[in-house]
Structure 1
């Protein structure tokens, strides 16, 4: 209604509205009349002090409320390991915010992981989080049967989930699963796709000394891993000397923020989604145990140390140790690796003879015991030295370099690790 109405017109209008509104005009009186933002509200009060209000915007308000109710979404979250946990935590935190559109979250995760006995069996990190928050959980596919033997979750309270959110799940979701979601199946991948498609993007970023990495939220592709349209990306500067675990934690936090943004703004993100450029695709294949065997004659120390930071959480670096006075070789795992940035005085090393100092950093695989740090310094390619603080023979306990030196009659500057 225009604010320029004449007083007479206004009074006539207000009187007609009040006459219609109050069924017993002798028992009611005008409570208030106010104008704001183009909305006019009227009130009438009877002797029982029961308030009634009338507004020309009531219908619009009801429509907005209904629209908000319709936007409420249900999420089926697929995950397993420590990388997936912060993403579920972020969605749970968003769900608890006033006005959140997230109504419900259910979880698909691995069954309990069995150790040596049933008493030692434990849930996956994601399953533990789900149980702590009283979320309904469903088992992920069995390793033998896969999705062919897997039954899609059914719940009498859920006609259909709006989103399937997949984070470090370990399975490729087929099209007949993806299409069960009303809006979409989406995935969080810890790289700036199309760079580093595959199962080891964090490891490759560390090994390749990338300065910038990031997180991508993509639509699930029904034909190929990590090939979906990009809904959102966030760049992250690489910290100095990251390990797999430290980088995982950093990117998981960013990924949690990103997936919440995509869920809240999905229509807009889908509208602006980008197709990946095939010419820019690089692969990040899984790193095998075999690939962690140090090649002393061709690897320099920084390469070995980077691989340890990238993949040491899964497989230790390893080498061969020749048993003295025999032809027998034993595999030995190496831990707590570091590089030596500058040449150290020969006086700091235990040297078996005067000639051994000449081989310091020159003959690959040669072991030197460094007294101040109680560690081994091993010669690598290009004259570099790799520091080793702990070692472990297969089937034996891990020991310090000092104990290894004293127990296995290491001849510092003479004894060598070998390579296959």
Structure 2
């Protein structure tokens, strides 16, 4: 009887000690479960995104977010920041048509705090640190290269111009004060066709970037965990294009190099040369199927050219004993003309020789 009474008196004290011991054992397990549940919540819920973009490379990503990632989700989960300077801004037009929340750049940190993540696609502005830090999950960027190759403003142009066999898109974290140096969350490769023109590759990469962005957001927590640092020793740079890159130096560039530059700048800028103190834009150029040695130009300086009546083109001597065909061009102050029109209108006025010369600027 005494034993029973003693047990009753001490039962609750011993039960409390047992519970405390179990809690010490289970608390790490419970914490791990809570962390897993939190990660699953990030994965399974839609992050509120503030999108930063301005141009035709940006638009497919905004379209993909709106139509795929946010399908059947309230509109206020996706906001847009863009410049209002250009009236033809396609990102602004799309946001207004779809009644997305639209903000004028520059934007205040208070606006960004209402979103989980900032997404930047071809925005063209260095994002201030206070803006980056105002997002709970920071900011990510869609970049048109396989980083760390071709950091900078013109990765597509440089990839074609430097004869890269492949390029791609990268999703990376944005770091303050520097462009394109953050950890890479995802990448996708794209083959560069030998005859591709810049607008086609631009459109292809824009769509690949949009698809990869949606995939990254759908798996955001795992992408963050597996993000890799860039190897700065492998970095190459694609700075903003200036008019200097359009000037053809016939004695330094081979026909292949000039043609690659033409394809890289196609639809953006024209290659330029000089003839009779006038600026000449090269509108359509090609490489001959076979690089033949033509006797009339064999011993001539680079930049020398003649009109081929049979093929109706100008044949220009370039560096490394190579030749380039010019099919269309524009003389300063004139409309676009064929090589035949140029020969009839300008070359026949100079009767001294059949061979003429383009000069570098």
Contact 2:140–2:173 (CA under 8 A) maintained in structure 1:
yes
Q: 1:84 maps to which residue?
A: 58
Residue 109, structure 1, aligned to residue 82, structure 2: yes
CA deviation map 1:212-236 (0-9, x unaligned): 2111000001131101111111111
Relative distance call for 1:194 and 1:361 in structure 2 (3 A) is farther
Distance 1:343 1:237 in 2: 26
Which residue of 217, 227, 240 corresponds with 1:286? 240
Pairwise CA RMSD of aligned residues?
2.8
For the Cα contact (< 8 Å) 1:340–1:384, is it kept in 2?
A: no
Q: Is the Cα contact below 8 Å between 1:78 and 1:107 reproduced in 2?
A: yes
Structure 2 equivalent of residue 134 of structure 1: 99
Cross-structure match for 1:415: 356
The structure that is helix-richer by fraction is 2
Match runs of 1:15-414 below 5 Å: 71-95=45-69, 97=71, 104-113=77-86, 122-141=87-106, 150-152=107-109, 154=111, 160-322=114-276, 329-342=277-290, 357-359=295-297, 362-410=300-348, 413-414=354-355
- TM-superposed CA distance for 1:397, in Å, is 2.3
How far has the Cα of 1:287 moved from its partner? 2.8
Deviations 1:255-312 (A, max 9, x none): 1111111111111111111111121111112232112211112211111110111123
1:140-192 Cα distance to aligned partner (Å, 9 max, x none): 24xxxxxxxx54574xxx96111111000000111100111122200011111
Decide whether the 8 Å contact of 1:111 with 1:124 is kept in 2: yes
Residues 109 and 139 of structure 1 are in contact (CA less than 8 Å); yes or no, is this contact kept in structure 2? Answer: yes
Higher RCO (CA < 8 A, seq sep 6+): 2
Say which SS state the counterpart of residue 418 (structure 1) adopts.
Answer: coil
| Residue of structure 1 in register with 2:25 after alignment | none
Superposed displacement of residue 70, structure 1 = 8.8
Tell me, which stretches of 5 or more residues in structure 1 are unaligned? 1-62, 114-121, 142-149, 323-328, 347-356
SS of alignment partner, residue 279 of structure 1: helix
* TM-score, normalised by the number of residues in structure 2: 0.81
Question: Structure 1 runs of 4+ off > 4 angstroms?
Answer: 67-70, 100-103, 343-346
CA contact (8 A) 1:366 1:413 kept: no
Which structure has the greater CA radius of gyration? 1
Distance in 2 between the 1:389 and 1:139 partners?
45
The two structures have a TM-score, normalised by structure 1, of 0.70
**Structure 1 partner of 2:19:** none
